[in-house]
Amino acid sequence: MKAKVVVMPKAAVLDPQGAAVREAMQHLGMREVKNVRIGKYLEIDLERDDADVEARLHKLCRDLLSNPVIEDYQLVKE
C-alpha cells in the first residue's frame, strides 16, 4: 500500500518562501504569477493495510509531518 501526504501552509498563514519564489519568477519574466505556496509532498510505502492503518497515518501526519497550528495536510491511500 502507498500513502501520499501533501502538507501546505494554512491559507491565513504567510508563506515567505513562496513569496520569495514568486518574486524570483516575476523577475525572470513570469509577471503573470500572482501567488506561490511552498509545501511538502511525501510518499509512504507500507507493507500491509491493517484495519487501523489510516487512523495511525492521520496521527503520524498530525504529530510528526505537519504543524497543525500553521499547516494543513491531505492524506490519500492507494
**CATH number, domain at 43?**
3.30.1280.10
Q: What is the DSSP letter of 58?
A: H
pLDDT tens string 1-51 = 999 999 999 999 999 999 999 999 999 999 999 999 999 999 999 998 888
Q: Which domain holds residue 30?
A: 2-77
Backbone angles phi, psi at 49, to 5 degrees: -115, 85
Number of domains in the chain: 1
Quote the CA–CA distance of 8 and 57 in Å, as a whole number: 17
> Cβ contacts of residue 29 below 8 Å, gap of 6+?
none
pLDDT tens string 46-68 = 998 888 999 999 999 999 999 99
Identity at 42, one-letter amino acid code: L
The model's pTM is 0.86
pLDDT of residue 49: 80
pLDDT of residue 51: 81
pLDDT of residue 27: 97
